[in-house]
Amino acid sequence: MVFENKNVLVTGASRGIGKAIALRLAAEGANIAIASKSVEPHPRLEGTIYTAAEEIDKAGTGKVLPIQADIRFEDSINAAVETMVKEFGGIDIVVNNASAITLTPTEQTEPKRWDLMHDINVRGTFLVSKACIPHLKNALNPHILNLSPPLNMDPRWFAPHLAYTLSKYGMSMIVFGLAEELRPHRIAANALWPKTTIATAAVENLLGGDFLIQRSRTPDIVAEAAFHILKRPSFECTGNFFIDEQVLAEEGITDLERYSVNPKQKLMNDLFV
């Protein structure tokens, strides 16, 4: 039970990768706080914070705390952190998973979509991290993990969807900065990104439907990589831009077929890799 008595905050954990990470850490004994907006079922998006909490509770032995929070707003973030600390007594790990996506060229990007992506991906990640830092300073092996890509300045990642790329790279730059800023406090800050597309609602609804789902891996591979990153000593493991496959290879896990939605289909690389 590697994470027994560890207190973990995961944003955007009502479904997809966030929920998978919460489930994996719960199975190792962690107390999980899931902070998301979804409290009512959505016709195109599976799950709420309450249905996710039920699954996580069954998967683990620790406590589970669903918190309705909108990380676009500082008051909502601070209230969520305060609620978690009051319930669990502290924060050991923060997983900044919440994210918005719109893959449009500049002329087709509406201001409200720009604002949404930057408010959640950049501003939200920054403010969640900021609110948690005072509590992470008191933890024994504190980690911040952002679900964001390696910083790759190849123009092909900018031209098709400039606004989205800027917002995700903003999350990665937060890792770049916090890793150095928090080094004296032995707080790790790392990024994790999948090698292939992952079978999530975003992939199905926005990117490629069932065609791409069949050529994707399940969120469990990202969760497994996160598990191995977050158990590493925080003072040794910081400032990294991890790819899930590489993390698992370092752990001696090379047979990844079980993570494929359809092992008969060729996998599709994700963006930015």
Would you say 19 and 42 are in contact if contact means Cβ atoms under 8 Å apart? Answer: no
Three-state secondary structure call for residue 149: coil
Torsion sign (Cα): 202, 205, 207, 209 = positive
Whole-angstrom distance, CA of residue 61 vs CA of residue 47 = 21
Task: Strand 7-11: give its sheet, edge to edge.
Answer: 64-68, 31-36, 7-11, 93-96, 143-146, 188-193, 241-243
- Which residue bears the tokens 């150095």? 180
Q: Furthest-apart CA pair in the chain: how many Å?
A: 51
What is the C-alpha to C-alpha distance for residues 25 and 227, in angstroms, rounded to an integer? 7
Catalytic position from the list 50, 164, 169, 259: 164
Cα gap 20→30, rounded to integer Å: 13
Closest Cα partner for 230 from 195, 189, 170?
A: 189
Burial letters for 151-174: b for 16+ Cβ neighbours within 10 Å, e otherwise? ebeeeebeeebebbbbbbbbbbbb
Who contacts 29 (Cβ-Cβ below 8 Å, separation ≥6)? Answer: 1, 2, 3, 4, 5, 6, 60, 61, 62
Contact 97, 37 (CB under 8 A): no
CB 241 within 8 A of CB 273: no
Concerning whether 164 is annotated as a catalytic residue, the answer is yes
* Residues annotated catalytic, as ranges: 164
